[in-house]
A and B are shown apart, each in its own frame.
Chain A
Amino acid sequence: MAVTETEIVQGIGSDYAIKYGFHVAEDYFFKSGRGLNHELIDAISSHKDEPDWMRKFRHKSLDYFLARPLPTWGGNVAEIDFENIYYYIRPTEKQANSWEDLPSDIKDTWDKLGIPEAEKKYLAGVGAQYESEVVYHKLQEELEKQGVIFLDMDSGLREHEDIVKRYFGKVIPQNDNKFAALNSAVWSGGSFIYVPPGVKVEMPLQAYFRINAENMGQFERTLIIVDEGAYVHYVEGCTAPIYTTDSLHSAVVEIIVNKGARCRYTTIQNWSTNVYNLVTKRAVAHEEATMEWVDGNLGSKLTMKYPAIWLLGKGAHGEVLSIAFAGNGQHQDAGGKAVHVAPYTSSVITSKSISKNGGRAGYRGLLEVAKGAHGSRSKVVCDALLLDEDSRSDTYPYISIDESDVDIGHEATVSKIGEEQLFYLMSRGLTEAEASAMVVSGFVEPITKELPLEYAVEMNRLIQLQMEGSVG
């Protein structure tokens, strides 16, 4: 055992630091001052040369943000110093569509993260956001010809203002919650996707979000519209350098899945443990549509994120698969929401959380069935795994059913890795860390098996690192 302990201690921080935790020099086109005010809003909007309605939308959102109190539930957000954050950094003057055109520090960062290589192998399109702006963007020509739009949100607004104006802030109103209001005020970057009727995008589109500067605030904004009978799988990843002071990431993601369409949105969140990750994600699914959130939360200091699906059309189906891993100093307040508005809709929420070394992971979920959503079905399963006595797991399942003709199931379990189970695995030659990692991999297998192979491998590798205590 002593050897394993030593290995664990030696491993702490080393791998994340090398693989993701590095930072490079700041040689930026524009960097705002710290703090948040209406002058900043004007500066951002002017930099982006936005239409007047968007500028007004931002100002109003800032008012909402300032007027709303901080939430007192979930995690502790009271320690965030909003005046110490940089809200807008534009690293380059222009977006590139070739990696070679990026400044060398930024290009090196993407190379280290393996994005250009992944693009070649298995992605249909890539957006790479660095600080506040998407510095690289590309979509396969074949998909462009089929009418698929995959742009950063700012370009989306410039090139497709009519679509953006119609949907922006409609699924998640600007005053939905304090952090949605913040994002609505200072948003920058993110993805804009439109998939025309019947078009199936077979390979995933990926966005990667990278924070480099200290005390950075990243506020990407994503809008995805999947038209009738179409399909898209969007994957996002995110990492940041390790700093001793806090950064803030607060995104808003709005998705519209039209009749008979299907959208899958996969997140592998691996922020360094000084990042507050406060994200609002919501999708609406129309008749016979399917929306799937696959949400992996491994990093960050505090994550508050509950991907939601509003089942608006008859026969719509929604799934949330959520994994949260909380290590030392981390609090993952994750979960999912399903709101059944139409008849014969169905939802499945599966949540798996793992806590170790004093980490805290929770499931916070909402299941709501409105009157008239007869014949609807829902199943909520949340399992927690505690790796030691110092760690914590919480479950907050809110259920509100206003219709009698429904089929609702809810299961929750909390388990611990037992001494007997570890002994069994170690008697086969696995070290204690390997044995624990195996139990954890098995525990999350129902979710990792849903990921494309490359991401499943990545997820398992990240879990392995977490188990060795080397992340954060």
Chain B
Amino acid sequence: MALLELKDLHVALEDGTAIVKGVDLAVDTDQVHAIMGPNGSGKSTLAYALMGHPAYEITEGRILFDGADVTEMGADERAQRGLFLAFQYPHAVPGVTVASFLRSAINAIRKAQAGGQDNPIAVPEFRKSLMAAMDELRVPREMAQRYINDGFSGGEKKRVEILQMAMLQPRIAVLDETDSGLDIDALKIVAQGVQGLVGPDMGAVVITHYQRILNYITPDYVHVFVGGRIVEEGGPELAEKLEAEGYEAFAPVGAGGES
């Protein structure tokens, strides 16, 4: 059994509109899965539902993480078990610095892992690993004292998302359009950062519209996602085919792919 399994997952909006219409996916550590689809195909909905956003209702199917059914769990419990979502549009928390945000998040996860007992990370240890991760991702050190995502440029937000991923050490990371809004240099740094974390401890699901991030993160599996479904699966070569031919060939019969 894979670490993360989606079984016939259906997701609807609060008004009942069905967006994700039956997805099966199995992701393990040391794997990179790319989910590629056009705008409006429901990719971000899939990402939010995976992480437990309360506005997206799972109407059918299940999400299993490490063998446990997490379908009904809140985002906090999923995160505590090792699931991570790098947001397409991360939210600002004015007055809370990147450093204190990260320390609180790490301590929340450590507390959950210690069965509800406080087990805070030592401050020097935290500082050391934060500085190392910032240097690695070329995030200027002074960013640690800025309020998280407050007034950040698009590129800064994306880098700090990946910084969070590096610090929280999830077992499965879902990256929702992390490539959008990044110039080529930033994209390289971010992609290499992700690539560096994928291994025996972490697997990744890279959600994207374009193939270009996949020049730096080599996917093991590519899933073409159109109209709320995975319509084709293959290896890295599928991404190149998509880049050359576009999504038109995969449009579901009788639907425009928008929903």
Q: What residues make up the interface of A, taking CB atoms closer than 8 Å to B?
A: 1, 4, 418-421, 423-432, 434-435, 438-439, 441-446
Contacts and interface: CB of A to CB of B under 8 A. Distances in A.
B54 interface: yes
B108 interface: yes
A278 B55 CA distance: 44
B75 A442 contact: no
Given A418-B91, A445-B96, 12 more contacts: A419-B55, A421-B93, A424-B93, A425-B91, A426-B79, A427-B87, A428-B79, A428-B101, A429-B105, A443-B95, A444-B95, A445-B94
Contact of A431 (B76, B90, B93): B76
B108 A434 contact: yes
Contacts of A445: 94-96
A419 B14 CA distance: 13
A438 B51 CA distance: 20
B167 to A, nearest CB: 10
A438 B75 contact: no
Contact of A426 (B75, B101, B106, B164): B75
B178 to A, nearest CB: 15
A446 B147 CA distance: 12
A8 to B, nearest CB: 14
Given A1-B74, A438-B104, A443-B94, A427 B79 contact: yes
A419 B74 CA distance: 13
Contact of A429 (B94, B109, B147): B109
A-B residue pairs, 10 tightest by C-beta? A442-B95, A445-B95, A429-B79, A442-B96, A428-B105, A426-B75, A429-B109, A424-B91, A429-B108, A426-B76
A428 B54 contact: no
A1 B54 CA distance: 10
Interface residues of B, number: 31
Contacts of B195: none
Nearest to A449: B95
Give the interface centre of B48, B51, B87, B91 by most chain A CB atoms within 10 Å.
Answer: B91
Contacts of A428: 79, 101, 105, 108, 164, 168
Q: Is the interface of A mostly helix, strand, loop or mixed?
A: helix
Contacts of A444: 95
30 contacts: A4-B74, A419-B55, A420-B91, A423-B52, A423-B54, A423-B75, A424-B91, A426-B76, A427-B75, A427-B78, A428-B79, A428-B101, A428-B105, A428-B168, A429-B76, A429-B80, A429-B105, A429-B108, A429-B168, A430-B104, A431-B76, A431-B108, A434-B108, A435-B76, A438-B93, A441-B95, A441-B96, A442-B94, A443-B94, A445-B95
Contacts of B94: 442-443, 445
Contacts of B79: 426-429
Nearest to B92: A421
Contacts of A427: 51-52, 75-76, 78-79, 84-85, 87
B138 interface: no
Contacts of A1: 54, 74
Contacts of A435: 76
Nearest to B109: A429
B112 interface: yes
Interface of B: 48, 51-55, 74-76, 78-80, 84-85, 87, 90-91, 93-96, 101, 104-106, 108-109, 112, 147, 164, 168
Nearest to B83: A427
Contacts of A421: 91, 93
Contacts of B91: 418, 420-421, 424-425
Nearest to B55: A419
A431 B104 CA distance: 11
B50 to A, nearest CB: 10
B112 A442 contact: no
A438 B54 CA distance: 19
Contacts of A443: 94-95
Contact of A438 (B96, B112, B164): B96
A429 B87 contact: no
B74 A426 contact: yes
B193 to A, nearest CB: 18
A163 B46 CA distance: 73
Contact of B76 (A432, A439, A442): A432
Contacts of B95: 441-446
Nearest to A435: B76
B93 A419 contact: no
B74 A430 contact: no
Given A429-B168, A439-B93, A441-B95, A424 B108 contact: no
B84 to A, nearest CB: 8
B93 A430 contact: no
Contacts of B51: 423, 427
A434 B168 CA distance: 17
Contacts of A439: 93, 96
A350 to B, nearest CB: 13
B93 A425 contact: yes
Given A429-B168, A431-B76, A442-B147, A424 B105 contact: no
A442 B98 CA distance: 11
B54 A419 contact: yes
Given A423-B75, A424-B90, A442-B147, A430 B108 contact: yes
Contacts of B96: 438-439, 441-442, 445
Give the interface centre of B101, B104, B106, B109 by most chain A CB atoms within 10 Å.
Answer: B104
A424 B90 CA distance: 7
A431 B90 CA distance: 18
A185 to B, nearest CB: 43
A325 B183 CA distance: 44
A443 to B, nearest CB: 6
A4 B75 CA distance: 12
B151 to A, nearest CB: 14
A123 B94 CA distance: 32
Contacts of A429: 76, 79-80, 105-106, 108-109, 112, 168
Give the interface centre of A419, A420, A423, A443 by most chain B CB atoms within 10 Å.
Answer: A423
